[in-house]
Amino acid sequence: MTFDFTGKVALVTGGESGIGASIAKELSRLGCAIIITYFTKVELAESVLTEANNNGLQNLIVKCDIRDEGSVINLFNRAKNTFGKIDFLINSAGIRSHDKPLAGLSLSDFKNTIATNLFGVFLCAKYFINQHEQFRDGRIINITSIHQEIVSASKTDYCASKFGVKGLSKALALEVAEKNITVNCIAPGMVLTPMNKKAIDDLNYRAEQEKRIPLQYAALPIEVANMAIFLCSPQAKYITGTTQIVDGGLSLNRSKGAK
């Protein structure tokens, strides 16, 4: 299967780091113009931008806090003014669990996880669909987690946010199908990104975690990006309302739990 995204424009939230950066770079390599957001790390965004610009296309980086509606409106205005349209929205920005039992979890920490991982997806999807009143075609891909399917203790905030995105995605898929917009989730297992810094820095910890993965290794971001590329492609135009699990079989190991 070959992919060519010449003439397409993708907006990747969190496109400066981890999974989002890998998706943005792959799309760019395949001819797609990219808009990537960063929250705190402008130097990472500039590095992805430089790599994308080397592919000979116009690209854009925008600072955005996806919890904040004004910031998201600014993002979509900047994108529209620069490109006139967005074909693909990839919601990758997110934060990890606060990893605390619910009884010890503060309301502000719980709200922060929900505001980032769920409200952020809601806001970006809303303004993406609004700009599609004119274009009536598009793809929304939400990077969730196997924690949209299976649960772990001390991750109530994260599980609530990711189960929420799964529900939002299915309902939205139904709502926007007539506009020819598809909505799908990709649910990764363990991926070696800054979110999993401990697994990158501590090889013993990583080896312990990898024993629980049937394929015996943690994914690199490109493994998730490959699925995003497929979902953006014409070959995936009939797929909507689904979750594509990319976890090396981790979610099959329910009896061992997924941390």
Ligand X SMILES: NC(=O)c1ccc[n+]([C@@H]2O[C@H](COP(=O)([O-])OP(=O)(O)OC[C@H]3O[C@@H](n4cnc5c(N)ncnc54)[C@H](OP(=O)(O)O)[C@@H]3O)[C@@H](O)[C@H]2O)c1
Q: How near is the Cβ of 32 to ligand X at its closest, in Å?
A: 19
Residues 113, 156, 184, 193: which binds ligand X (CB under 6 A)? 193
Structure tokens at 250: 């981790």
Interface positions, 116-135, toward ligand X (CB under 6 A): 116
Q: Which of 127, 158, 205, 217 is catalytic?
A: 158
The answer to whether 93 contacts ligand X (rule: CB under 6 A) is yes
Q: Pick between residue 84 and residue 123 the one whose CB is nearest to ligand X.
A: 123
Closest CA to 89 of 176, 188, 164, 178: 176
User: Residue 250 in contact with residue 196, Cβ under 8 Å?
Assistant: no
User: Residue 36 in contact with residue 47, Cβ under 8 Å?
Assistant: no
Instruction: Kindly provide the b/e burial profile for residues 173-199, where b requires at least 16 CB atoms within 10 angstroms of the residue's own CB.
Output: beebeeeebbbbbbbbbbbbbebbeeb
The answer to whether 67 contacts ligand X (rule: CB under 6 A) is yes
Q: What amino acid is encoded at 113 in this protein? A: T
User: How far is Cα 205 from Cα 210, in angstroms, rounded to an integer?
Assistant: 9
Q: How far is CA 18 from CA 139, 172, 224, in A?
A: 21, 26, 10
Q: How near is the Cβ of 136 to ligand X at its closest, in Å?
A: 28
From the list 79-87, 129-137, 188-196, 204-212, the region that binds ligand X by CB under 6 A is 188-196
Q: Pick between residue 20 and residue 248 the one whose CB is nearest to ligand X.
A: 20
Residues 84, 167, 194, 214: which binds ligand X (CB under 6 A)? 194
Residues 10, 11, 124, 143: which binds ligand X (CB under 6 A)? 143
Structure tokens at 14: 């969190």
CA dihedral 10, 14, 20, 24 (to 10 degrees): 40
Looking at residue 99, the DSSP 8-state letter turns out to be -
Q: Pick between residue 43 and residue 178 the one whose CB is nearest to ligand X.
A: 43
Tell me, rounded to whole angstroms, the distance of Cα 171 from its chain centroid: 18
Tell me, rounded to whole angstroms, the distance of Cα 215 from its chain centroid: 23
Q: How near is the Cβ of 145 to ligand X at its closest, in Å?
A: 4
Interface positions, 31-50, toward ligand X (CB under 6 A): 37-41
Active site residue 158: yes
CA atoms within 13 A on the CB side of 142: 35
Q: Pick between residue 72 and residue 173 the one whose CB is nearest to ligand X.
A: 72
Q: Pick between residue 84 and residue 194 the one whose CB is nearest to ligand X.
A: 194
User: How far is Cα 35 from Cα 127, in angstroms, rounded to an integer?
Assistant: 15
* Contact code string over 199-238 relative to ligand X, x by CB under 6 A: ----------------------------------------
Instruction: Tell me the site size for ligand X, rule CB under 6 A.
Output: 30
Structure tokens at 96: 């990890």
Residues 190, 231, 250, 258: which binds ligand X (CB under 6 A)? 190
Which residues are designated catalytic? 158
Q: Please give the residue ranges that form the binding site for ligand X (CB under 6 A).
A: 13-14, 16-20, 37-41, 64-67, 92-95, 116, 143, 145, 188, 190-191, 193-196
